[in-house]
Structures are given as structure tokens and as C-alpha cells.
Amino acid sequence: MEETNREAVATAVQRVAGMLQRSDQLDKVEQYCRREARKKASVEARLKAAIQSQLDGVRTGLSQLHNALRDVKDIQNSLADVSKDWRQSINTIENLKDVKDAVVQHSQLASAVENLKNIFSVPEIVADTQVLIEQAELLEAHRKLMDLECSRDDLMYEQYRMDSKNTHDMNLIRNYFGAVQGLSDDLAKQLWMVLQRAMGTVRRDPTMLVSVVRIIEREEKIDRRMLDRKKQMGFIPPSRPKRWTEKMFEVLEGTVTTRIEGSQSVTREADKMWMVRLLEITRKYVLDDLIVVKNLMVQCFPPHYNTFDRFFKLYHKAVSMRVQELAAEDLEANEIVSLLTWVLNTYKSVEMMGHPELVTEYDIHLMDPLLPQKVVDELLSKYVQTFTSNITGWLRKALETDKKDWFKETEPEADQDGYYQTTLPAIVFQMFEQNLQVAAQIDETFKEEVLKLCLKQMNSFLIRYREEAIAYKEDHLRDRQLPQCYVQYMIAIINNCHTFKESINSLKKKFLKSTEPTQNDAAIERTLNDVAKDGCQFLLDEVFLDLEHHLSELLTRKWLTGTHAVDTICVTVEDYFNDFAKIKRPFNTEMTSEAHRRVVVEYIKAVMQKRITFKNADERREGADRMIKEAEQFKFLFRKLTAGEETDRLCDAIAAIAEVFKLTDPTLLYLEVSTLVSKYPDIREEHIVALLAVRGDASREMKQMIIETLNQNKPSYAGNTRPIFKDITVPTATMTSSMAATANKLLK
């Protein structure tokens, strides 16, 4: 306490010292005193108020404790009085046991009296109820049945309460009411019959269906009440619980299943389109029934049944089971497509479960798939296998049919532009397109898979097509008179390749989303080019077989004296190319170029075979002039065939060789040969040797000098143009003599 006083005095001193630091502050001492006095009075007042509040609280608490103590004593006294009264009443309760038994007996007698009327009239009520059931007066029949069951159940319950082990009396009551169970069963049959015909009943007489549901609801309530009593007393009447609600849904499920199966009367034997018809009937039945459920049947059932939802699931389950049964059968390709299209597309479309009247009641996206994905995959795999087998057979048959046309005595048909063609591409791609349209009905992924399969089969088919074209040519070579329209049908085969390319591109654009090339594109393109190239080569072979005799006359003595071989060659080529004009581009252009090249090459080959050796300058000049003239003839011909395109370079090779022959001064021969080599750097040493040999006046030394000089200064081949001399071989001396002998025989 002293310590506190000292601290307070020290604080006060410090505070006063702070107030009186300057001399002018002494004038305010009284003011400071008054202010401090006010503060002191205020603090003392607050302290007094706080102490007074604490004292009042303590006084109130003590008062409440005294009151609580008195209450506890009163309760203790009351409990003592109750305990005393309870001990005195024990004997009184034991004396009331007889009264209790009397009450139970009175209750049983009262129940018996209450049901006495029904007990005596049981046979009559049973008969009346049976009549009502037969007359379909179901509500009235059920009311009487409930009265009978209530009387029986009450009597059995009272008997159970009085003596639960008295089975004799229990059986007596049960036997007396024995016909009641039969009535219950008969009524149930009537109810199930109405439910089995629910779709028809709700259209014709919905009140009947409402009555059935009301009866089942009553029985459900009685079941619940009896089960509750069983929990309390251990007694439950016979045939309870009936569980008619569960049975009702079982019957409805069976009704839906029967309705779906009852529509499946179409068979494969009776109708090839049986699958389509069967699925269409199912669609119509399901849609019609669900609309009836929504518009009529929902009103006949209590809301808590979720009637539409329940029926929607029942129909979905029944359809799923039926579709799985169909999927397990040995289906053909078109049947698989019909089934999968219906399952994957039609089922959830606006034509069926997605119908505008149904989607407002149920989210179709919550439905389980009709077919498990494994089954769908198996069906797709089976379809692919069947389709592969079928398309192989179809393509083989189409090719066989087309081959028969090749041997006809009439020309093939021409398209609107006059190009020969056969029906093979149209047949093949019509078949492809039909199957792709069918596959597209399933889904986009499967459609693309089928297209890739078609392209793969197309490649195999084109390989066979090429083999058949080669065999066709070989058959013709055995007898060139047959077939009569060989050239025209070979042209059609070439044109078909162009049509195949266009059709393939069209299919890909139509049925493929991606523009990326497929793995079969390159192979198909290569095979089609090979077929067209072979066909063009076969036709050129045909031309040059006819020209063979005239080509053999070139650069011979007969040629030098004035044969018309080149005239005949030009006429023959032009005649053939009148037919070849019906070949589509680019094959026509390529073929014309190849024919031009081949004519020039054959002409140069005739030079290189040294069929003639000029004896003097006059013969050389005459032969050279003839060669230049014939080169111009070839130029004119192929300009005409190529519609004015540049064709001079090849024919200029003939003119360049002629200039070598035409030269009169042997000393300038090297320069002329050099000019030839510079123009055609692919010319080889043996070619020059053959040219000098045909010229006939070059000495061995001159030949040697020219060859050596050219070898030293030979220009490199740039490769910008296709070489001419590369494929021309110079026969050896033995071959030359043999060919000369053959030429002499032909000339004779």
C-alpha cells in the first residue's frame, strides 16, 4: 500500500512539475487546482457507482440461492410423498389383473359382435363378390373383399392376442374364410388382365385403369399397416403382404416386352427387307405407345409413380433386349447396316425417342446405349468382312462382264465428247457410292473406314485389270484379225483409267472430310498410269506392226531408187491417229509424242543398221535430200497430229544426219560430225562409226581421227531434253549381215 502511495505521489509531483515549467504558468495555479479537483470528484463518483453496482449484484445472487435451496427442499419432500404413494399402490395394480383380462375378453367379444353380421353372411358376400368380379365391377368387388378380409383378420388377431398358440381356433377361422383367398386371386387376375391391355384400355376406358390403380393403392396401404402391426404384435394375416404394386410393375414390364416382341412377325424368308420393316414397326409402336403414356396414362397413376419415366425405361429395356437378340443372329451385310443405322441414329432421332412430344419429359442423353459397344464393334467387324468378300466378288464379276464386251464386233460406246469408254468405271463407282451412302448412315468414322477399304480393293482390282488388258493384247497378237474392235476397246481401256481417277477424286471429296492423301492413293495412281501406259504402248505396237515392212525399206537401195515407204508410213500413222483422237488427254498427247519419237528412232535405227553404203557423192546427195524431205514429211505429220505443237527437234536429228551424208568435202567431215554431236550429245562412238560407214568415203585414218578428236572434246549431256540416240543400238557386223539378208529377202 505504501509503495502504491509513493508511486502516486511521484506521479503527481512529475505532473505538477510539467504544469509549472514557466513563470507565466504560476498565474494559472488556481485554475489548475479547480480542474484537478473536478477530475478527482468525477473519479470518486465513478468508483462509488461501480462499488454500489457490485454490491447490488451480490445481494441479488444471494437471494436467488436462498430461493433455489427452498425449491430443492420442496421437491425432495414431493418425491418422498410419491415414493410412499407408489409403494401403497402396488397391491392395488395386482388386484386389477382380473379387470385387465375382462377388458381383453370384452374387446374380443366386441370384435366378434361387430363382425357377427359379416361372419353369418360370408357365403352370401363371397357369392356376390364373385359375380362382381365376373362383371368387371372391380371397385365394388374389392370393397366387399376388403370387408371379408377385415372380418377374418380382426377375428384372427383377437384370437392371437388371447392365445397365440391356439392353432386349432386359428385354422377354424382360416377355413371358414377359405373362399376369401380365392376371391383375392380372381380379382388379381382381373387386375393383371386390365394392365396387360393397358394401352388399349387407356384409350377406350381410362376409368377402368384408374380403378385398377386405386385398388392396388388400397392394398399397398393395407400391406404397410399389417407390416407395422407385425413389428409391434408379431401377428400378420395370411396372404399378407400381397405386394400388388410390385406385381403391377412386373405385369406392365411383361406387357411392354410382349408388345415389342408381338410386332416381330416379319421374317427373312417372307421378305428380303424384313429387318427394315421390323425396325420400322418397332419404331412406330414404341413412339405411339409413349405418346399415349404421356397424354393419357400418366393421368391414371399417382404422381409419385413417375409413370412416364418408368414406361420410358421399360420400353428402352425391351427394345434393347430385342435388338441384342437380332444382333446375335447370322445377319447379312445390308441387315447389319440397317440394324446399326437404326440403333445409332434413328432410335434417338426426332422420329423416335427424340420426338418433340417426348423430349420434354425425358433427357435422351441419359439413356444407356441400346447395344453394348463391344456388340457394335463386332457387328461392324462382321460387316467389313462381309463387305470385303462381297466387293471382291462384285469387282470380279464387273470385270468379267467388261471383258466379254472387249470381244464384241461393235465399237464401244462414246461419251458426250466422243471418247470411247466402257461401263466398267460407272458400274464400279456406282457400287462404291451406294455402299458408302449406306455406311454414312452409321457414322462418319465408319464411312471413312469403308471408303479406305474400297480404295484398297480398287488397287487390287486395277492390278487384275492391267493383267486382263495384257492378256487381251496377247490374244490379239495370236490372230491380229480378232477381235475386230481391238483398237477401239484398247482406247476405251485407256480412257477408263482417266475416268477411274476422276471418280476416285470425286468419291474422296464427297465422303472424306480430310484432304490428306490415303495410304492407297499413290499405289492406285501408279497402277492406273501403268494400265494407261501399257494400253498406249499396245496401240503403238499395233501401229508399228503394220509399219514394220515399210520401215524395213528405209535406207536401202530400193528406198534410194524411189520407194514410197515414208508416204505409206505417214498415211498409216495418220489413219491410226484418227482413231487415237478418241483417247483422252493427257494420254493422247503422250501417245502422239511417243509415236513421233518412235518413228524418228526407227528411222535412225535404219541408218545405224547400215542397210546401204553410198557409192559416190551423187548417191550421198540424193540420199541426204531424200532424208531431209522425209524429215519434213514427219514434221508436217506430227505438227498436224499435235495441233501445231513444237515437234522439230526429233525430226531435225534426221536432217542433221543427212547433212553428214550430204557433205561433199571429206576434209570438213569432222566439223559436220562435231555439229551433230553438239546438237545431240547422247550420240555414241558406234553411232558415228555407223554413219561414216554408210557415207562410204571415209578412210580408216579419217574415222580414227574423227573419233579420237570427238572423244577428247565431247560435250557433256545436260539432260534438259530426252535423249534420242541413247536407246538406239548399232548392230555388230554379224547382226548387220543377217539383217541385210533379211532386208534383201523382203525387198525381193
Q: Distances in Å between the alpha carbon of 416 and those of 127, 172, 421, 582? A: 91, 103, 11, 11
Q: How many residues does the chain have?
A: 748
pLDDT of res. 738:
43
Report which residue type is found at 269: E
- Give the number of other Cβ atoms within 10 Å of residue 282's Cβ: 25
DSSP line for 674-699: HHHHHH-TT--HHHHHHHHHHH----
Dihedral, CA of residue 512, residue 518, residue 520 and residue 525, to nearest 10 = 90
pTM over 0.75: no
* Residues in Cβ contact with 212 at an 8 Å cutoff, skipping those fewer than 6 apart: 138, 191, 194, 195
Phi-psi region of 306 (alpha: psi -120 to 50; beta: other; left: phi over 0): left
Query: What string of DSSP letters covers 504-519?
Result: HHHHHHHH-S--SPPT
Q: Which amino acid is at 205?
A: D
Which set of grid coordinates corresponds to residue 679? Answer: 546438237
Exposure class string for 104-133: b at 16+ Cβ within 10 A, else e: eeeebeebeeebeebbeebeebbeebbebb
Alpha-carbon gap, residue 657 to 623, rounded angstroms = 11
Neighbour count for residue 168 (Cβ, 10 Å): 8
Report which residue type is found at 27.
Answer: D
Determine the pLDDT at residue 495. 93
**8 Å CB contact between 694 and 612:** yes
Going from the C-alpha of 602 to that of each of 173, 264, 556, 636, the distances in angstroms are: 125, 76, 14, 18
- β partners of residue 420: 414
Check residue 428 and give its pLDDT. Answer: 92
C-alpha distances out from residue 509 to 201, 412, 502, 503, 742, Å: 55, 30, 11, 10, 58
Inter-helix orientation angle 167-176/138-162, to 10°:
170
The reported pLDDT for the residue numbered 108 is 60
Phi, psi angle pair for 424, to nearest 5°: -55, -50
- Give mean pLDDT in consecutive 10-residue pieces for the chain, a chain of 748 residues: 80 77 73 82 86 87 90 90 79 66 66 61 76 82 80 71 64 70 84 87 87 88 83 76 87 87 68 84 89 89 88 90 88 86 88 87 83 89 87 92 92 90 92 86 84 89 94 92 91 93 89 76 91 93 92 91 90 92 89 91 92 90 92 91 72 90 84 86 88 86 83 64 82 51 40
| Torsion sign, CA atoms 533, 534, 537, 538 | negative
- The answer for residues whose C-beta is within 8 angstroms of residue 4's C-beta and 6 or more apart is none
pLDDT of residue 165: 62
414 φ, ψ (degrees, to nearest 5): -115, 150
Distance CA 370, CA 347 (A): 9
CA atoms within 13 A on the CB side of 399: 18
Are 547 and 580 within 8 A, CB to CB?
Answer: no
Report how far Cα 710 is from the mean position of its chain's Cα atoms. Answer: 70
Q: What is the pLDDT of residue 573?
A: 93
